[in-house]
Structure 1
Amino acid sequence: MTAIEHARPAGMPLAPVDFSQTQIDLIKNQIAPGASDGELHLFIEQCRRTGLDPFSRQIYAVMREQSVKQGNQWVKVQKMTIQVSIDGFRVIAERHGQYAGRVGPYWCGPDGQWVDVWLQQGPPAAAKVGILRHGFTEPLWAVARFEAYASRKQDGALMGLWAKMPDVMIAKCAEAQALRSAFPNDLSGLYTGDEMAQADNPREEGRPTPEAQQGSRRADVTREVQEAAGTPAHTTQPAPQAPNATALQRVRDMAQRVQQYGAERVEEILGRHDWQNDMSAAAAAYSDLKDFGLEQAALLKAREQAQPAPQEDVQDAQFTPDPTPITNDQIGQLQSAARGMNADSSEIRAAVWAWILQRPAPVNTTVLTAQDAADVLAYLAKCSPEQRIQATAEAMRVFDIPELPF
């Protein structure tokens, strides 16, 4: 029995932790694509330990590029990182039974003056949140600096939601820190996607990677002896190979071809890779751009095929989409997906569905047709957690919906 299960109040059961084979296959294909069997097993065990529901996006797996040492060289491989949403952190705290709410968030600028609402044009310098727990004499505070967590592009510009709602993002990081400190037995080793966003930031030139800093003591001793003797230490990490003109042009051409499907997404892909300086990064950028284009083209084709075919012998005929109403099962799937997209109100959900379906105005869940729901779910199945949240932000921008604090 986990500490969470032991301490939770009556009437607050954990999410189901016994997954069927169908659910495991769904997790592997949709929630943790690219994970090895060992990583998949680890993810499922973490779901069971925390009692979090991966289908509600309370916990999810993210594949990140990491450097590992193989022989005398560092090579880049894809490794799974388990992340928990801020909602998952709150669920764990609530189930604990000792959670008594929070104080804040508060924000400050470079002057260090704390305010309870951030109205400045630029991002705050930091945010702080206090967690209340039964038995504590005062709130347990945590402070998160913006520069320590902000997600940035190759040119240093803020990325995604960090550019659109920087105060909200840094406040969630502060709250996650505070919750982890208040409930260490249940949250130790767990981090939110907002906290991990900076892991993909481009590294400054000359700064060693964390993997290189975590070398063995034996390697450190060897280096120290060499430095004491005045002999330069040999580096085992080869310099990146600069891409040739052909490789660079291929990336530019592919970016131009898929620009029609989403300029912001293309910019995000290019910003994620150092494609102008590293041949392997250029190849990865080209591959990601191509995959993005193929996915969007397939979705567009599916939408076109779903439209009724015109009748040649009938003039001025009016054709309407398939009137089959949405099913209760589809409504449940859409609501489950919305919980992991920050689509926390019916107004936002209506905007998201309309944005995905390319409708001129928001459309409520209950008035969608079965085909509409199928199209939305097919689109979301191909999106990563970050892409889903980005879709919500874009829909709110297109339909001019005010941003919510959380």
Structure 2
Amino acid sequence: MNSTFNPSTNRQVPATRDKSTTYALANGEEIKLSTSTVREYLVRGNGAVSDQEVMMFIALCKSQKLNPFVNDAYLIKYGDRQPASIVVGKGALEKRAELNPNYDGKENGIIVLSDNGELEYRQGALAAKGENIVGGWATVYRKDRGRPEHVEVSFDEYVGRKSNGEINGQWATKPATMIQKVAVAQALRQAFPNDLNGMYASEEMDQAQPEPIEMPVSAPVESIPAPAPEVITVDPVQQRFTADDLI
């Protein structure tokens, strides 16, 4: 079987018949995605993505009107035996919520356990060194609902750890910021299930993920350079697509 070289993963991958699809973004801009473009430019990590994973990624971008050339979305695969994660920029999650005419803002913060055993709910992610951060919270408001969506999440449930049990980089250095992101992602998803169904923050998955591998990614000619975003991850087992979805 013929193979092609993926510069992002530094691996040879099986060559398959190239398929492409074209769709419009919310602003009217047209995006063309092909399976070869995804393999060559939009995969990060050291694993070889399967045809199914590439088709899932293209179908998600099309259905959610995401532009992967400005890092709205890309694929991460750390090893051949692990499923690929479809990663969506955090900005894309909030932008989709803002496109809904019923979106009416949000509030979010952290939960700290004080020395006297009481829970303190704070706006934002400010915590002094040594304070016991036990969770995060977020409230999302909709104009068409009498009650907001309020979420509280436990730090211990979501903290990312290495294989040896140590807390990993971002969770070790920015615990308040990370747990707050989990709460915001969950609250937005609950408030707008039709818009954000199946889309998960990477912070929600960190406890089950290996340490991230920093991989430089070259962009194709039609891409627009953009800084690496904060990311959210779509659970790949929740969606299944066939080649017909790309036509």
Q: Same fold (TM over 0.5)?
A: yes
State the AA in 1 paired with 2:187.
A
Distance in 1 (alpha carbons) for counterparts of 2:32 and 2:208: 32
CA distance in 2, matches of 1:83, 1:341: 10
Aligned to 1:13: 27
- Secondary structure of the residue aligned to 2:189 is helix
Instruction: Give the structure 1 partner of residue 49 of structure 2.
Output: 35
Aligned partner (choices 150, 155, 164) of residue 146 of structure 1: 155
Q: Percent identity?
A: 26
Residue number among 69, 72, 77 corresponding to 1:58 in the alignment: 72
SS in 1 for 2:105: strand
- Alignment CA distance shift 1:169-1:17 (3 Å): same
Query: SS at the partner of 2:182?
Result: helix
After superposition, the C-alpha distances for 1:147-203 in whole angstroms (9 at most, x for unaligned) are 1111112343221211111111111110000011001112121112121111126xx
Pick 1 or 2: higher relative contact order, CA cutoff 8 A, min separation 6.
2
CA offsets per residue over residues 126-160 of structure 1, 9 Å max, x none? 01010111112232111121111111123432212
Residue type of the alignment partner of 1:53: N
SS at match of 1:78: coil
1:115 partner SS: strand
Indicate if the aligned counterparts of 2:69 and 2:224 stay in contact, CA closer than 8 A. Answer: no
Shift of 1:48: 0.6
State yes or no: 1:84 paired with 2:113.
Answer: no
TM-score, with structure 2 as normaliser: 0.68
Q: Cα offset for 1:17?
A: 4.3
Look up the match of 2:103.
99
Larger Rg: 1
**Residue 121 of structure 1 is aligned with which of 129, 136, 145?**
129
Are residues 46 and 332 of structure 1, via their aligned partners in 2, closer, same or farther at CA, if it must alter by over 3 Å?
closer
The Cα shift of 1:64 comes to: 5.1
1:83, distance to aligned residue in structure 2 (A):
2.8
Q: Is the 8 A contact 2:61 2:73 kept in 1?
A: yes
TM-superposed deviation, 1:120? 2.5
Counterpart for residue 324 of structure 1 = none
Alignment of 1:155-304 (within 5 A): 155-200=164-209
Would you tell me which structure has more strand in proportion to its own residues? 2
Unaligned runs of 5+ in 2: 1-24, 233-247
Question: Against the structure 1 CA distance between its residues 40 and 150, is the aligned structure 2 distance closer, same or farther, given a 3 Å change threshold?
Answer: same
The count of aligned residue pairs is: 196
Q: Quick one: distance in 2 between partners of 1:106 and 1:15? A: 38
Other-structure match for 1:112: 119
Secondary structure at 1:84's aligned position in 2?
strand
> What's the secondary structure of 2:82's corresponding residue?
strand
TM-fit CA distance, 1:14:
6.1
Q: Is the 8 Å Cα contact of residues 151 and 162 (structure 1) preserved in structure 2?
A: yes
Query: Could you say which structure has the higher helix fraction?
Result: 1
After superposition, what is the alpha-carbon deviation per residue over 1:342-372, rounded to whole angstroms, capped at 9, x for unaligned? Answer: 5xxxxxxxxxxxxxxxxxxxxxxxxxxxxxx
CA pair 155-41 structure 1, distance change in 2 beyond 3 A: closer
Q: Residue 61 of structure 1 contacts residue 81 of structure 1 at CA under 8 Å; is this kept in 2?
A: yes
Contact 1:14 1:51 in 2 (8 A): no
RMSD value, Cα: 3.2
- TM-score norm. by structure 1 comes to 0.43
C-alpha change, 1:127 and 1:85, in structure 2 (3 Å) is same
3-state SS of 1:156 partner? coil
**Over 3 Å off, 4+ runs:** 14-18
Q: Secondary structure at the match of 2:111?
A: strand
The CA deviation string for residues 63-106 of structure 1, in whole angstroms up to 9 with x for no partner, is 256xxxxxxxxxx8232122323212101111222211102224
